[in-house]
Amino acid sequence: LLHENKSGKGPSWLLDNDDLLYVVNEQEDKIETFTIDDRIQGILTSKNTISSKGSTPCSLALDPTKKWLAVANYGGLGSASFALLPLNKSHYPEEKGAKIETVDGRGPHPDRQDHSHCHQVQFYENYLYGVDLGTDTINIYRFDDATGEMRLLHSRIQTEAGAGPRHLFFHPDKPLAFVCNELNSTTCVYRTDATLGKLQLQQTITTRRSDDEKNLTKENTPAEVQISPDKKYLLVSNRGDENLVIYNLSDSSEDVLSIKEHLSIQGSGPRYFTFDPTGKYLLVANEKSNNLICFSYNPNDGTFQFVSQLAHVQSPQHILFIS
């Protein structure tokens, strides 16, 4: 451990912007801004803390012009929303001038979908995408970077009832998008139209092994979805089954995804994972077992090998590499 920086209670999402780092604090409904003072030693200085303009913030995104910071407020103990916060000349977010969008409705799950639960925001091409677990919707907004105004582009994209969409990932080269669904343990594949901002469902596939699906007493909640550096595989983390499902990724057939294998994550509660900048290593943040796991990745045969672990990391929830 090189350095430890305190950040309120429940820091769960990190986003860098040049020499700044934005952090959401879920338990305090805050967004904290740090300056990155030393990238080698990992030294940060807190400069600004503001309201996230909602309850339980859990995701951040920076618009392409770097004028606005988007936040998804999950609404665990209060209001759920997608909010846009203007950045001042120092690139610190401000509450004044914030734009807030809420989603009406609920899903069939009695405990997890009593109302909207905004789980992720993401800018792609000319649009802002918001994933709402509580209403089983993907919301696409036309975004005006001059004013910060959001306008729903067309009807909200409805997932299967009770699916609980959590995170959305766009293929870097192909017109494909992937959504991991937290409540029914599936991954959806969508065809994208970047010009019109549309998503068309093409495939739905389970994240689980058949034996795990048959065990009705075992709860599983997928959390994160990412692509391998060589773009051959799509990965989704399973919390409960405690593994990563690794899909073969092919655009040559109607079924884009097929299950290759399930990789044990050597812990519990894989809330987040990512590849390092070299693409040679995969890191997994196991929130419940309090450890970070490192695997090596061999692109020649698509295999992963356990390398090491960092234990006694209290509830790791996100990973960000700062070069």
- Enclosing H/E stretch for 210: helix 210-214
With 90 as the cut, is the pLDDT of residue 323 above it?
no
Rounded to whole angstroms, the Cα distance separating 84 from 61 reads: 9
DSSP tag of 45: E
Label residue 252 by pLDDT band (50, 70, 90): confident
Model pTM greater than 0.85? yes
CA 170 to chain centre: 12
SS (H, E, C) 24-35: EECCCCEEEEEE
The whole-number pLDDT of residue 271 equals 98
Label residue 1 by pLDDT band (50, 70, 90): confident
The whole-number pLDDT of residue 275 equals 98
Q: Which of 74, 7, 101, 4 shows the shortest CA–CA distance to 47?
A: 7
pLDDT in tens, 112-165: 999 999 999 999 998 999 999 999 999 999 999 999 999 999 889 999 999 999
- Three-state secondary-structure class, residue 7: coil
Which residue has 């000319």 as its token pair? 126
Q: What is the mean pLDDT of residues 204-217?
A: 95
Q: How many angstroms separate the Cα of 291 from the Cα of each of 124, 182, 263?
A: 32, 22, 16
- Three-state secondary-structure class, residue 14: strand
The whole-number pLDDT of residue 3 equals 85
For the chain, give the percent of residues with pLDDT over 90: 93
Q: What is the CA radius of gyration of the chain?
A: 19
Exposure string over 5-35, b if 16+ CB within 10 A, otherwise e: eebbebbbbbbebeebbbbbbbebbbbbbbe
For the chain, give the percent of residues with pLDDT over 70: 100
Going 253 to 254 to 260 to 265, the CA torsion angle's sign is positive
The whole-number pLDDT of residue 154 equals 86
SS (H, E, C) 149-180: CEEECCCCEECCCCCCEEEEEECCCCCEEEEE
DSSP tag of 107: -
Dihedral (Cα; 127, 21, 56, 64), 10-degree rounding: -10
Rounded to whole angstroms, the Cα distance separating 105 from 209 reads: 32
- Three-state secondary-structure class, residue 212: helix
With 90 as the cut, is the pLDDT of residue 251 above it?
no
pLDDT in tens, 36-88: 999 999 999 999 999 999 999 999 999 999 999 999 999 998 899 999 999 99
Domains and CATH numbers, the chain: 1-158 (2.130.10.10), 171-323 (2.130.10.10)
Q: What phi, psi does 72 have (nearest 5°)? A: -100, 120
What residues contact residue 167 under an 8 Å CB cut-off, 6+ apart? 119, 120, 131, 179, 180, 223, 224, 225
Q: What is the mean pLDDT of residues 92-106?
A: 96
Rounded to whole angstroms, the Cα distance separating 253 from 81 reads: 37
pLDDT in tens, 21-36: 999 999 999 999 999 9
